[in-house]
Amino acid sequence: MKFKIALTIFLLSVASVASAQNKHVIKARTTFISERYCEGIEDCSNAYFKITRKGKSAKKTKGEMAFMTAECYRFTEQFREANEWYERALLLDYQEDVPEIHYYNAEMFKMMTEYDKAIEQYELYLALVPDDDLAKNGVASCNMNKQFIAEKTRHVIENQTAINTDQFDMAPMIGDRKGTKVYWGSSRDGVTGKDSDARTCQEFMDLWVSDIDKKGNWTAPYLVKGDSINTEHNEGTVAFDQRFKKMFFTRCPVEKKQ
């Protein structure tokens, strides 16, 4: 009788632990599928650490949580953190289910200019998916970058601190024939929207522009003027027609509960 009672208590405790773990896993998956990557970093990593059970199924789920955490970091451009979580997923052999882990890990190494490590990951991926042209291009790109470093030119690249910020500044485009205007999307202070983007952890982006003054310096950026251009949603990725008379850009609206 005592043995039965003890066994019942043990099974109930195991079921309780498993239920708690499943709750965290379900929350992590929901957040990730909803592309709420800022929340996903916490939810997915939390689920990873909550999985304490042994066995093949638990190992696979733990690998999945590590992979999703890495993806959340990758989508928010936190390359070192993404790399660390891809490595955790690889230690759990999750590449057997998602071989792309090697490819994405290679991309992170490339972004951090660790080209030899990137090539190693690309080649591990190509061993699993031999016909992937993106991975082949990745290897070629790393080798070219190594060559560029070895054969430096006398060009000097300067950071344009007048227009660059710590926030996302993306997709610059020359906006006139003389090359005196540059347009880009940015989540910097002063944007039109008031909410944060759950995908980027930053404000919703607007379109900005800067001009070259008479001394050849870029002026302080300002919002692109015009009705219905900058809104509370994300705007970015500008293009122009050949005469620079028409501007085309991308808007990503956000709908509640979508």
19 pLDDT band (50/70/90 cuts)? low
Q: How far is CA 33 from the centre of its chain?
A: 14
Q: In what order do the strands lie in the sheet with 181-186?
A: 169-174, 181-186, 206-211, 222-223
Helices (DSSP H) in the chain: which residue ranges? 2-33, 37-50, 56-75, 79-91, 100-111, 115-128, 133-150
Q: For residue range 86-115, what is the model confidence (pLDDT) as tens digits?
A: 999 999 999 999 999 999 999 999 999 999
Encoding tokens for residue 35? Answer: 């592309």
Nearest to 160 by CA among 186, 141, 193: 186
pLDDT at 17: 45
Q: What per-residue confidence (pLDDT) applies to 6?
A: 47
Burial level of 34, CB count in 10 A (0-12/13-18/19+)?
middle
Can you give the pLDDT at residue 14? 39
C-alpha to C-alpha distances, 6 to 19, 31, 111, 128, nearest whole angstrom: 20, 38, 54, 48
pLDDT of residue 219: 93
Check if the beta carbon of residue 125 is closer than 8 Å to that of residue 156.
no
**Amino acid sitting at position 138:** G
pLDDT at residue 20, as a whole number: 55
Which pLDDT score, from 0 to 100, does residue 21 have? 67
Cβ(66)–Cβ(48) below 8 Å: yes
pLDDT digits over 47-87, tens only? 999 998 889 999 999 999 999 999 999 999 999 999 999 99
